[in-house]
Amino acid sequence: MEQRLSLVTLGVADLERAVGFYASLGWAPGNDWRAQGVAFFQAGGMAVALWGRDELAADSTVEDPGGWGGVTLAHNVRSPAEVDAVLAEAETAGATIGRPGAETFWGGYSGLFIDPDGHPWEVAHNPRWEIAEDGSITI
Amino acid sequence: MEQRLSLVTLGVADLERAVGFYASLGWAPGNDWRAQGVAFFQAGGMAVALWGRDELAADSTVEDPGGWGGVTLAHNVRSPAEVDAVLAEAETAGATIGRPGAETFWGGYSGLFIDPDGHPWEVAHNPRWEIAEDGSITI
Express each pLDDT in A35-48 by its tens digit: 999 999 999 999 99
Residues in A touching B43 (Cβ below 8 Å): 3-5
**8 Å CB contact between A85 and A75:** no
| A60 CB-side CA count, 13 A | 28
User: Across the interface, which of A68, A73, A134 has its CB nearest the CB of B57?
Assistant: A68
Q: How far is the C-alpha of A69 from the C-alpha of B70, rounded, in Å? A: 7
Q: What is the DSSP letter of B60?
A: T
Residues in A touching B45 (Cβ below 8 Å): 44-46, 132, 134-137
Q: How confident is the model at residue B110 (pLDDT cuts 50, 70, 90)?
A: very high
Mean pLDDT of chain B: 97
Residue A107, min C-alpha distance to chain B (Å): 13
Q: What is the pLDDT of residue A95?
A: 98
Q: What is the pLDDT of residue A42?
A: 98
pLDDT (average), residues B24-32: 98
Residue B85, min C-alpha distance to chain A (Å): 9
Q: What is the pLDDT of residue B99?
A: 98
Q: Do the Cβ atoms of A46 and B47 come within 8 Å?
A: no
Q: What is the pLDDT of residue A11?
A: 98
Q: How many CB pairs under 8 A join A and B?
A: 244
Q: What is the pLDDT of residue B83?
A: 98
For residues A29 and A106, the model is more confident at: A29
Q: What is the pLDDT of residue A45?
A: 95
Amino acid in position A23? A
Residues in B touching A44 (Cβ below 8 Å): 4-5, 44-46, 136
pLDDT (average), residues A76-91: 98
Residues in A touching B117 (Cβ below 8 Å): 70
Q: What is the pLDDT of residue B112?
A: 98
pLDDT (average), residues B20-37: 98
Q: How confident is the model at residue B68 (pLDDT cuts 50, 70, 90)?
A: very high
Domains, in order of start, for chain B: 1-64 (3.10.180.10), 67-139 (3.10.180.10)
Q: How far is the C-alpha of B139 from the C-alpha of A43, rounded, in Å? A: 10
User: Across the interface, which of B26, B61, B64 has its CB nearest the CB of A3?
Assistant: B26
Q: What is the pLDDT of residue B136?
A: 96
User: Across the interface, which of A27, A47, A98 has its CB nearest the CB of B60?
Assistant: A98
Q: What is the pLDDT of residue A69?
A: 98
CA of residue A88 relative to chain centroid, distance: 15
Q: How confident is the model at residue B49 (pLDDT cuts 50, 70, 90)?
A: very high
Q: What is the pLDDT of residue A130?
A: 92
| Alpha helices, DSSP H, located in chain B | 15-24, 33-36, 53-59, 80-93
pTM over 0.95: yes
Residue A126, min C-alpha distance to chain B (Å): 11
Per-residue b or e along B36-58, where b marks 16 or more CB atoms closer than 10 Å to that residue's CB: eebbbbbbbbbbbbbbbbeebbe
**8 Å CB contact between A70 and B18:** no
Q: How confident is the model at residue A84 (pLDDT cuts 50, 70, 90)?
A: very high
